[in-house]
Amino acid sequence: MDIKFPERMTMIWLLLYLIVTSLVSANRFILSEMPVPRQAENECICSIVIPDSFPSQMIDFAEDALKNLTQLVQEEMDKLAPIIQNITSYNDAVENMTNTVLDIETNGIKDEADFLKATKQINNLADASDVLFTLLNETDDVIGDILNQVNNVSSVVWQLESFDKNGVLVTHREMAALRKQLAECEEAMTNLNFGVPGAGQLTHEFGKCDHKELVNISKPFIVKLNWRGFSYKYGAWGKDFAIGNKNPDMYWVAPLNTDQRLMEIYRLYNTYRDLLLYKNQVEKSLSQYVGFNWNYMNCGQGSGAILYNGSFYFNCHNTRNLCKMDTVTNNIKRKTVEGAAFNNWYSYSGVSWQDFDFAGDEKGLWVVYATESSKGKITIAQLDPENLNTIKTWETSLYKPNITNTFIICGVLYALKRVTAHKEIIFYTFDTNTGKEGTLDIVLEKLSDTAQSVSYNPNDHKIYMYNDGYLVTYDVMFKRQFTRRRRTVATMNTQNSLMTIHKGWQQFSAA
C-alpha cells in the first residue's frame, strides 16, 4: 500500500513554512529598519522614508491567505490522523487476508467456520476500502484545493519578494544618503562655514538676475528639527533674504503653535553653528500679558513670515494687516492690504492660515495673497520694505487653494503642486518682469508630507523649507551662461549644462 498523503502534507508544510518566513522577514524589514527621529542638543537628526511603492496591501492579502491555509491544513491533518489509523488496520486486514488465502491454498478449506472467517475478512476488506476510497477521494479534492491556494499565495509571495528587493534597495540608498548627511551634519558642527558659500566664491553671481533660468532643484538637505520639537509641524524658517543686509548669516526659526495658526514666538541665531547647536539664540515673544489676559495683537498668523533686512515680516494675527517687526528695536509697523482675503479664507492646499506668504529676492520684498474679488486667484504684490506700502501688484490665474506653496526668484513666482507624500512639482511660473505665465516641470523631493513654508534666499541660492517640523534646504540650479571666447563656439551641451552654487555633496557637476 502506497501512503502518499503524509508526504504531500509535508510538502504543503514546507511551502507554508517558506511563506511564513518570507512574510516574517518582510515585516521585520518594515518595522526595524525605520529609525526613530530624535531630537536632542548637539545631535544630528535623521529620519527615513519608507518607499511609497511598498506593497503593504499584498502583505495583508498574503497574511490573510496564510491564516486561511494554516487553518485548512490543520483541518486536513485532523482528518488524516484517523485515515492513517484506518490505513493501518486496512493493512492488517490485507495481511490477515493474505495469510488466510495462503493457508487455504496450502491446506485447503478445513471446515465451514474457516470459510466463513475468510469471507468475513474479504467483506471487511471491501468495506474498509470503500470507506477509505471515499475518504481519500474527498481528501484528494481538498488537498488539490489547498495546493492551488498554496500556488496562489506563493505567486503573491514571489511578487512580494521582488517588490521587497526593490524596497530594500531604495531603503539602502536612503540610508546611505542619510549617513552622509549625518556625517556632514557632524562636520558642520565643527566647521563654521559648512554649507555656506565661501567668501569670494561665485559672489558675483549673487544678487544678479541676468538670464537666471531655474533648471533644477537638488535633493533635500536636512538641517535640523525645529527647536520646539517634533509636534510643532507648522512654521517657517530661513536666513535674512535681503541682498546686502547687515547680518547675512542671521537665521530665524518660527514654529507656529500646534493650532497651525498662532505665531507667538520666534528665534534668531547669528550663525549657522548656533542654529545647529541651538545656542546663543535671541528669542522674540510676540504675545503680551495685559490686565490678566493674553493679548495676541502683535502675534503672527500662519507660516508665511520671513526675515528681511533685519526686520521680521508677517501677517498680523486675526487681520488682513501686514506686520513688520524691527528685530533690534522690537517696534512693530502695520499696513492693511485692502481687498485681501484673510483668516484662512484662501490658504494653500494642505497648509492652513497662510493667507499672506512673504518673499524676498534679488528684486526686493514681495507678498503673495489672494483677493476676495478674484475669488482666490493669487495676487503678487511688491512692497516697500520701509513702510509696507504696495509698489505694484500682478494678478495671476492661479487659484491659491489649489497649490501647495510658492517662492519668488528674480521677480518670477514659482508655484508648487503635490504629487505624492514625498514629491512636489514646480509646475507654474509668473514673471512679473513681463507679466507672462509659464509652465515648468521640476521635481522637488520632500522628507515629509507637507511643505509648510517654502522660500528662496537670493544670498545663497537656496530654498528653505519648513517640512512638517524639519528645517530643510535645497540648492537651486540655474542654466549656466558661458561668455563666448574668441574663436570658440559654445555647443548645445555646454549651453545646457547645470551650474552649482557651493561645495559639498549636493554639488552638481556640469553635465
Does residue 347 bind ligand NAG (CB under 6 A)?
Answer: no
- Select the span of 29-37, 62-70, 258-266, 271-279 touching ligand NAG (CB under 6 A): 62-70
Q: Which is nearer to ligand NAG, 234 or 407 (CB)?
A: 407
CA distance 504 to 218: 12
Tell me how many residues contact ligand NAG (CB under 6 A): 28
Q: Minimum Å distance from CB 60 to ligand NAG? A: 9
Does residue 476 bind ligand NAG (CB under 6 A)?
Answer: no
Does residue 412 bind ligand NAG (CB under 6 A)?
Answer: no
Sheet holding 265-269, edge to edge: 235-239, 251-255, 265-269, 282-285
Q: Minimum Å distance from CB 318 to ligand NAG? A: 26
Does residue 427 bind ligand NAG (CB under 6 A)?
Answer: no
- Select the span of 22-30, 167-175, 240-248, 288-296 touching ligand NAG (CB under 6 A): 240-248
Q: Which is nearer to ligand NAG, 39 or 100 (CB)?
A: 100
Does residue 137 bind ligand NAG (CB under 6 A)?
Answer: yes
Q: Which listed residue (9, 29, 50, 96) binds ligand NAG by CB under 6 A? A: 96
Does residue 29 bind ligand NAG (CB under 6 A)?
Answer: no
Site for ligand NAG in 295-314 (CB under 6 A): 309
- Select the span of 160-168, 238-246, 252-260, 286-294 touching ligand NAG (CB under 6 A): 238-246
Helices of type H across 219-316:
272-277
Does residue 399 bind ligand NAG (CB under 6 A)?
Answer: yes
Q: Provide the CA 298 distance to its chain's centre, in angstroms.
A: 35
Q: Select the residue whose beta carbon is closest to ligand NAG and give its number.
A: 82
Half-sphere exposure of 494 (CA within 13 A, CB side): 8
3-state helix, strand, coil in the chain (%, to 5): 35, 30, 35
Q: Minimum Å distance from CB 447 to ligand NAG? A: 14
Q: Which is nearer to ligand NAG, 42 or 85 (CB)?
A: 85
Q: Which is nearer to ligand NAG, 131 or 440 (CB)?
A: 131
Longest dimension (CA), the chain: 130
Q: Provide the CA 246 distance to its chain's centre, in angstroms.
A: 37
**371 CB contacts (<8 Å, ≥6 apart)?**
339, 340, 341, 377, 379, 395
Does residue 447 bind ligand NAG (CB under 6 A)?
Answer: no
Does residue 218 bind ligand NAG (CB under 6 A)?
Answer: yes
Does residue 128 bind ligand NAG (CB under 6 A)?
Answer: yes
CA distance 161 to 153: 12
Q: Minimum Å distance from CB 336 to ligand NAG? A: 22
CB of 369 closer than 8 Å to CB of 381: yes
- Element housing 401 (H / E): none
Q: Which listed residue (207, 350, 385, 504) binds ligand NAG by CB under 6 A? A: 385
Which of 289, 284, 291, 370 shows the shortest CA–CA distance to 327? 284
Does residue 135 bind ligand NAG (CB under 6 A)?
Answer: yes
Angle (CA) 26 28 33, round 5°: 110
Q: Minimum Å distance from CB 459 to ligand NAG? A: 11
What are 308's strand-pairing partners?
311
Which of 153, 3, 144 shows the shortest CA–CA distance to 76? 144
Q: 369 by DSSP, 3-state: which?
A: strand
- Element housing 364 (H / E): strand 364-370
- Select the span of 12-20, 212-220, 312-320, 488-496 touching ligand NAG (CB under 6 A): 212-220
Q: Which is nearer to ligand NAG, 181 or 301 (CB)?
A: 181
- Element housing 478 (H / E): strand 470-478
Q: Which is nearer to ligand NAG, 32 or 57 (CB)?
A: 57
Sole residue written with cell 501512503 = 3
What are 474's strand-pairing partners?
463
Phi, psi (5° rounding) for residue 453? -150, 145
Q: Which three cell numbers stand for residue 28?
A: 521585520
Site for ligand NAG in 65-94 (CB under 6 A): 65, 68, 82, 86, 89, 92-93
- Per CB under 6 A, residues contacting ligand NAG are 61, 64-65, 68, 82, 86, 89, 92-93, 96, 128, 131, 135, 137, 140, 152, 155, 216, 218-219, 242-245, 309, 385, 399, 402
